[in-house]
Amino acid sequence: DVKVTQSSRYLVKRTGEKVFLECVQDMDHENMFWYRQDPGLGLRLIYFSYDVKMKEKGDIPEGYSVSREKKERFSLILESASTNQTSMYLCASSSSGTEEAFFGQGTRLTVV
Amino acid sequence: AQSVSQHNHHVILSEAASLELGCNYSYGGTVNLFWYVQYPGQHLQLLLKYFSGDPLVKGIKGFEAEFIKSKFSFNLRKPSVQWSDTAEYFCAVTVNTGGFKTIFGAGTRLFVKA
């Protein structure tokens, strides 16, 4: 079974903090993605990566950055957390750009 | 810009009722189409997918979807729902815009009354 593991299920951070969300996949997938999920808006793509050290902006990259130093690990960074970044964050991986994505359990981030 | 529209945000059905969830996308090129499901407290998982061939695709748990290219639609159906189908359903489309990108719809929350 493909496993995508996100380091935290729940996080509470203060406004202005730098926040790291970690994601690890164990299937040697080339592609990894970060989405945020908000009610009524579905999943919106923040950043994705097709290879180590490679990253591409998604639809809502503002306020976020990413790091992919190793193939299995893809980190999402909130440089200075704000309350409008309170959301559910989902990491996913896939073997190719057109194949199905496998999702982690999600990290519910609350910024106070 | 590419987008995916799901027609209903909330659907409430009784057990044994038939289900159809609408999905339309806006993109003129080749697409791969997916339906994902998220059961309460669980992670998103694939329900079914369409890449090419027979436009009627069968997935897990009795779900099926039909790709109608002329209508840019990929509607999800199930003849008889069960209480355990209560979940949120997401339509997704992968497009190639110089790199592959998957776009999700807003989701449809289905509640099935026992």
Task: Give A11-22 pLDDT, tens digit per residue.
Answer: 999 999 999 999
pLDDT classification of A50: cutoffs 50, 70, 90: confident
CA distances from B83 to A35, A51, B11, B68 (A): 29, 41, 13, 29
- Report DSSP state, residue A112: -
The predicted pLDDT at position A2 comes to: 66
Are residues A42 and B99, on separate chains, in Cβ contact within 8 Å? no
Q: Hey, is the C-beta of A1 within 8 angstroms of any chain B C-beta?
A: no
The predicted pLDDT at position A97 comes to: 67
In chain B, which residue's Cα lies nearest the Cα of A3?
B43
Q: How far apart are CA B44 and CA B25, in angstroms?
A: 20
- Chain B segment 53-92 residues within 8 A of A by beta carbon are 90, 92
Minimal C-alpha gap between B50 and chain A (Å): 10
Q: How far apart are CA B42 and CA A27, in angstroms?
A: 20
Q: Given a cut of 80, is residue A89 above it in pLDDT?
A: yes
Q: How far apart are CA A74 and CA B17, in angstroms?
A: 42
**B106 → closest Cβ in A41, A58, A98:** A41
Span A83-103, average pLDDT: 90
Q: Hey, is the C-beta of A100 within 8 angstroms of any chain B C-beta?
A: yes
Task: State the best of A100, A102, A105 to mutate against chain B, taking most chain B CBs within 10 Å.
Answer: A100
Minimal C-alpha gap between A13 and chain B (Å): 22
Q: Determine phi and psi for B38, rounding to 5 degrees.
A: -125, 105
Radius of gyration of chain B (CA): 14
In this structure, the dihedral spanned by the alpha carbons of residues A91, A95, A101 and A107, taken in order and rounded to 10 degrees, is: -10
Minimal C-alpha gap between A67 and chain B (Å): 19
In chain B, which residue's Cα lies nearest the Cα of A93?
B102
**Strand A10-13 vs strand A107-111: parallel, antiparallel, or unpaired?**
parallel
Are residues B100 and A44, on separate chains, in Cβ contact within 8 Å? no
Q: What is the mean pLDDT of chain B?
A: 92
Q: How far apart are CA A65 and CA B108, in angstroms?
A: 30
Q: Hey, is the C-beta of A45 within 8 angstroms of any chain B C-beta?
A: yes
- Report DSSP state, residue B17: -
Reported in sequence order, the residue ranges of B7-106 that DSSP labels E, i.e. its strands, are 10-14, 19-21, 23-26, 32-38, 45-50, 56-58, 64-68, 73-78, 87-96, 100-104
Residues of chain A in contact with residue B99, where contact means CB-CB under 8 angstroms, are: 50, 56, 97
Q: Are A74 and A23 in contact (CB under 8 A)?
A: yes
**B104 → closest Cβ in A4, A43, A104:** A43
pLDDT classification of B72: cutoffs 50, 70, 90: very high
Neighbouring C-alpha atoms within 13 Å toward the C-beta of A48? 22
Q: Which residue, chain included where needed, has tokens 């496998």? A: A102
